Amino acid sequence: MSESKGIAYCHGQFMPIEEASVPILDPAFHKSDVVFDAVTVCDGAFFRLDDHMERFYASCEHVRLTPPLPDAQIRSIMAQCAHRAGFTESIVFVLCTRGRYAGGAAFGDPRTAENELIAYAVPFFTIVAEPKMKSGAHLWIAQNRRAPDAAINQRCKNFNRMDLTAAHFEALDAGADQPVLLSTDGYVTEGPGFNVWIIRDGKALTPGDNLLEGITRKTVFDLCQDIGLEAEATDLKAEDLENAGEVFISSSAGGVVPVVRVNDKPIGNGAPGITTGRLSDLYWAKRADGWHSIPVADLLEPEEEQAASA
């Protein structure tokens, strides 16, 4: 039997992920009128699910989307996606789409649309390919700027990603792994799927504006407190990254990941930083200890729970 690529919940039903689709008349498709969140499952347990759901509902509210199901049911659907796919290591996505305009028309009043919920579980993946998770990533400061908050509130987790995709092409063309985008006024923001950090003068620094406030970013603030390292959100320029003692990125897709090169400059001595390593080890150790975790099995319906423990 071939391994599952994932299970989706779409239009009220569970199905293999290859069969799930968004109708082209849903503005989620033709207007990117959709918000989402992505939660990791490791060793069969969600990490910081409450934080992800809080961010998901804030994203929905910002663009006037209303998930059509109660919170407990949404969590149960997310758990069922991971469980039905047989994944103990997974990333589970939850999306609220605008849905079809009244009468199913191609254009119309967004206030009339019936919002839809989609969820899916895919195998766990990382923001850079596996060997670089340890040996360190190469970041590229892209020419393409991040869309400003005044146009698209980046605190809202969205799929308006033309800026991120153009920057990704730039990074790949330059032989790097991932791009970092500057704001239109020249400050470091983030990359596609991650926040950026530097270690400078014994402090962990990360940008504070024009970005998604990652749940892993929040976790790094907690970890810094654990190891007695001062951490602060502040404005950073491209040179601050290039000249930092250490650089790392934070993402649900891999935790704390070292960066060893920014543009053509090696960072520090060109090897992953010691503090970065401490934070990364602590991240995984605390997760293995059940920190902020909720077992998938706890959110299943009773009959599925029995099957999960059989």
Q: Is 217 near ligand PLP (CB under 6 A)?
A: yes
Stretch that binds ligand PLP, among 8-16, 169-177, 208-216, 267-275 (CB under 6 A): 208-216
Could you say which residues in the range 34-73 bind ligand PLP, by CB under 6 A?
38
Q: Is 207 near ligand PLP (CB under 6 A)?
A: no
Residue of the chain from 6, 27, 67, 214 that contacts ligand PLP (CB under 6 A): 214
Q: Tell me, by CB under 6 A, how many residues bind ligand PLP.
A: 13
Q: Is 90 near ligand PLP (CB under 6 A)?
A: no
- Cα atoms in the Cβ-side hemisphere of radius 13 Å centred on 8: 13
| CA-to-CA dists, residue 165 to 75, 126, 139, 151, 154, angstroms | 30, 17, 14, 17, 15
**Least Cβ distance, residue 252 to ligand PLP (angstroms):** 3
Give 141's contacts (C-beta < 8 A, 6+ positions apart).
Answer: 179, 180, 182, 238, 241, 262, 263
Stretch that binds ligand PLP, among 71-79, 202-210, 214-222, 300-308 (CB under 6 A): 214-222
Nearest to 127 by CA among 7, 250, 2: 250
Residue of the chain from 251, 275, 276, 293 that contacts ligand PLP (CB under 6 A): 251
Q: Is 259 near ligand PLP (CB under 6 A)?
A: no
3-class secondary structure, 133: helix
Q: Is 178 near ligand PLP (CB under 6 A)?
A: no
Residue of the chain from 181, 212, 224, 267 that contacts ligand PLP (CB under 6 A): 212
The 3 state secondary structure assigned to 281-310 is HHHHHHHHCCCCEEEHHHHCCHHHHHHHHC
Q: Alpha carbon 19 to chain centroid distance?
A: 23
**Least Cβ distance, residue 262 to ligand PLP (angstroms):** 17
**For 244, which DSSP code?**
-
Contact 199, 244 (CB under 8 A): yes
Residues forming the site for ligand PLP (CB under 6 A) = 38, 190, 193-195, 212, 214-217, 250-252
